[in-house]
Each structure stands twice: as structure tokens, then as C-alpha cells.
Amino acid sequence: MTSRRNFLQKLTLSAVSLPLIPNFTQNSQASMNHNTKKASTLRVAIMGLGSYATRVAKAMLDSKNAKLVGLISGTPSKIKDWQATYNIPDKNCYNYENFDAIKDNPDIDAVYIITPNALHHPQTLRVAAAGKHVICEKPMAINAKEGREMVEACNKAGVKLLVGYRMHFEPNTLEIIRLREDGAFGEIKFFQGLSGFRIGDPTQWRLNKELAGGGAMMDIGIYSINGARYMVGEEPEWVTAQETKTDPVKFKEGVDETITFQFGFPSGVISSCLSTYSTSHLDKFFLNGTKGFAEMQPSTGYGPIKAWTNKGPLNFPHVTHQTVQMDRMAGIILDGETAKIPVDGREGLKDLIIIDAIYKAVDTGKKVKIDLT
């Protein structure tokens, strides 16, 4: 944990020294222009070689349009192991102190940041300054202020910022949205999102406010926040929220164990959601309208996703979410394609604004207005 803190301090100091408008060298400008050129394959370096990065890397082996070509890690032994597994050359491997040098590496188009939440902001600023596209795991940052700075930095650098919303490409999810838009469920009235599991090791970074930015809400609750928005098809106007903490030793100050929260939408739709680190097997979405309903359980896990409506089950074959995600993101970055449900930095920022509002509602006990403009 101490080493994580040291990394955070170093990276934060590095980010502070960077201007939001990068001064590009000729090499970095050339690299940026190369990255935005149409190409058949998105060449990706993964930053942070933990368990989820492993899942992404394995999924990319089956990608048609994305390829793992580089590694960034603070652990030399991990880099050596990954090099052997994925045939990554030494020249494409970096640590957290020297990865700014990717600006001079034409073999890398984008960096996928899969590190603790608090590191996303400084690392994104540095990757953008190097002229490389950014794919960042969710939550995009630990608050909306950081999220805005990330969006601004990538815009000014002329690179794209995408967020790892794998469910935005999942076929059952997209089919329910299509049915809702076609009026199959009538006038939408209610949404329920349940997101939770029992967290284990009390020393892990997810239970460290400095690195996680919070607790369950930042890790699993964001699925119900984002899901409420794309399932209802509107943006929430207000939120109320209540926190429950049964283990203040494991869940210290600023690390939420369980939060229930309620949204109000412009059309009158209401939602009731739960985010928790203390109850397992909570992964359910329920959308109800005047003519029918849709239900998913599991709704956001790695799959297979199970979904049905009042007319019967949906039977889409399971596909590895991260494989589809990376292929689609390659199209977005290289060919200007768009996603049915956005996955850009602005989408990530909206979730951060809502998370800030939820924590404010918990702290004040009042209904909090949500302004996504």
C-alpha cells in the first residue's frame, strides 16, 4: 500500500507540472497525426498489469481490429511475464516514471489505463501530452473536477478519450434499448438497479479512499448509475441517497459500504438503486413501463448476461465483452465510428457529476439537483 501511495504522489506531481495545452515536439505531433489516420488495427499499450488488465489482454487475442503492443507497469517482473506471454518487444515497455517517452514511439496508438481510480487523472494528462489516445477504465476519475480536466486535456491535445463501458456494446443491453425506443414497453415508469458483492481483502486499494476515491459507489455502484441512464433513455434531474455502514473498521471514513439512491427523470420516471460491498449476487436491472417490462440478471457481469421481457427470453449468444469493446473502440478511434450508447470522456464525466451529487445527498440528507451541462 505504501508503494501505491508513492506512485500516486509521484504521478500527481508530474501531472501538476504539465500544462493543459501540451507543447508538442515535432515527433509527438507526428505521432498524434499518425494515430488519427485511418488504419486497420488499433495498437494498444496497457497501463497497469493487474487482474482486469489480464482479462482485457486475453480478450484482445481474439480482436480483429485491436492488438496489444505495449506495456506500462511499476513491477518489472510483471512486464517480463507479459512480454513472454504476448510477445511484446523491450522497446514498447515502460514504467510509471518514463512512460512519457511513448510520444516518440510510433508503434503505439493508444494507452488503456487500468490502474487505481485516483491515478486515472494524472496518467491521462500525461498520455494526452504524449499525443496518444486514451482508453480509461471507469470511473474515469474520482470526481467531476478531475474528469473535466481530463476531457479538456484530451480535446486540446487532439486525442480521443474513451471510457471502458463494455456494457455499451453488449447485445442484450442494446436489444432492450431498441425495444424501449420502439415503444414495446409503453411509457417507462420505473427502473431498478442492484449492484453489489462482498468485498474481501481489507488491505486492497479499493478500500483505500486515497486510491479509490470512495468505496462501493466508485467500483460497482457506477454500473447502476450508468445503467439507469441508458435503460431509461433520459438523464436524471435529482437524486436522494442514504448510506448504511455495518463495519466501520473495514469501511473507514470516506469509504462507503452500502448506499441506496433514487433518481428523478424529466418525464416522471423514478429509479431505485443499490450499491454495496456487503451483499453478494446483486447484479440486476429491471425496467418497467405501461405495456411491459425488461429484466436482466446478471445485468453487468462478465457474462453470460441473462435477459428477458414480458414477451419471453432474449437469446443472444455470449460474446466476450472486452473483445467486442476493443474492436468497436478501434473503429471509434481510427475510423470515426460512433457508439449507440456513448463511451467518450463526456459520458464518463456525466457519471462523475452524478456520483458527486450522490455523495452530497448522503452528506446533507437532502434532494440534490443534478446539472450535467
Q: Which residues are catalytically annotated? A: 138, 223
**Separation CA 263–CA 182 (nearest Å):** 24
Residue-wise DSSP of 37-66: S--S-EEEEEE--SHHHHHHHHHHTT-SSE
- CB 32, CB 133: distance < 8 Å: no
- CB 138, CB 208: distance < 8 Å: no
- Could you give the 3-state DSSP secondary structure of residue 100? helix
**Separation CA 335–CA 363 (nearest Å):** 44
Residue given cell 418525464 in the structure block: 267
- Which H helix or E strand runs over 214? none
Residue given cell 488503456 in the structure block: 112
Q: Name the E strands within the chain.
A: 42-47, 66-72, 93-94, 110-113, 133-136, 161-163, 188-196, 238-244, 258-264, 270-276, 282-289, 293-296, 307-309, 312-314, 368-369
Residue given cell 456494457 in the structure block: 167
- Could you give the 3-state DSSP secondary structure of residue 315? coil
Nearest to residue 231, comparing CAs of 351, 356, 352, 341?
A: 341
Backbone angles phi, psi at 294, to 5 degrees: -135, 140
CB atoms within 10 A of CB 80: 14
The two counts, helices (H) then strands (E), for the chain are 12, 15
**Separation CA 161–CA 173 (nearest Å):** 23
